[in-house]
Amino acid sequence: MPNMDKQETKQKLQPKAEPIDNAVPLESRIHLLTIIGEVEGHESLGDRTKSTKYEEILPRLALIEDDEQIEGILILLHTVGGDVEAGLAIAEMIASLSKPTVSLVLGGGHSIGVPLAVSADYSFIVPSATMVLHPVRTNGMFIGVMQTYRNMEKTQDRITGFIAAHSDITQPRLEELMLDTSMLVKDVGTMLEGEDAVREGLINEIGGIREALNKLKELMKKNI
């Protein structure tokens, strides 16, 4: 009995944890969107290739826009690029969201991954990540070389125009980097490391997950 009395006294002396009224689970306010592997187009890449499917991302973005509980979107990118039209469709939808968006390039944000990275309201890249800029590519047999070339040129203009409109790099400088022949072996283009991407005005800031989340929360407060 004496031991029980001591336990009761100890329990009474211990302060009770007060419930925090303003505590909201992170996942109910911030939606995490990952763009990884290859951006898949109209043809399936198969089970052995890690990919991002536009038919999954686009409806999800529509639901996010309509969900009043979600206040911000954090986009994590580690992609080799992929289908141009699918990538641009996702990028345009991200850019048109009314809710704050922050992107973080991890590992790589290559090719069509570049417009995906800059489509957010604010972008970060880790120091060790890289971004490859190169002209539009295609393969197979062509019927009508000049017509095909003009179509590819228009497609490239759509990409460079979007990137220039959503970042601090100019379209002429972007095209200059895309057509550089001095950096990549057996290829045309430029590979930018983290600090280079920021210096060129492609990405806003060097940073990791901490900086990205802090910036997103800051934008969310301003959006209230």
Q: What amino acid positions are annotated as catalytic residues? A: 111, 134
pLDDT confidence tier of residue 170, bands split at 50, 70 and 90:
very high
> Closest Cα partner for 108 from 85, 123, 128, 135?
128
Answer whether 0.85 is exceeded by the pTM.
Answer: no
Return the exposure string of 52-70: e unless at least 16 CB atoms fall within 10 Å of the residue's CB, then b.
bebeebeeebeebeeeeeb
Four-residue CA torsion sign, 206, 212, 216, 222: negative
pLDDT at 213: 96
| CATH architecture of the region 31-37+49-222 | Alpha-Beta Complex (3.90)
pLDDT at 196: 96
pLDDT confidence tier of residue 140, bands split at 50, 70 and 90:
low
Higher pLDDT, residue 138 or 171:
171
Residue 138 has pLDDT above 80, yes or no: no
Higher pLDDT, residue 122 or 7:
122
Residue 25 has pLDDT above 50, yes or no: no
Quote the strand ranges of the chain, DSSP E: 30-40, 51-53, 72-82, 101-109, 122-125, 130-133, 190-193, 205-206
Domains of the chain, by residue range, sit at 31-37+49-222
pLDDT confidence tier of residue 45, bands split at 50, 70 and 90:
confident
Residue 17 has pLDDT above 50, yes or no: no
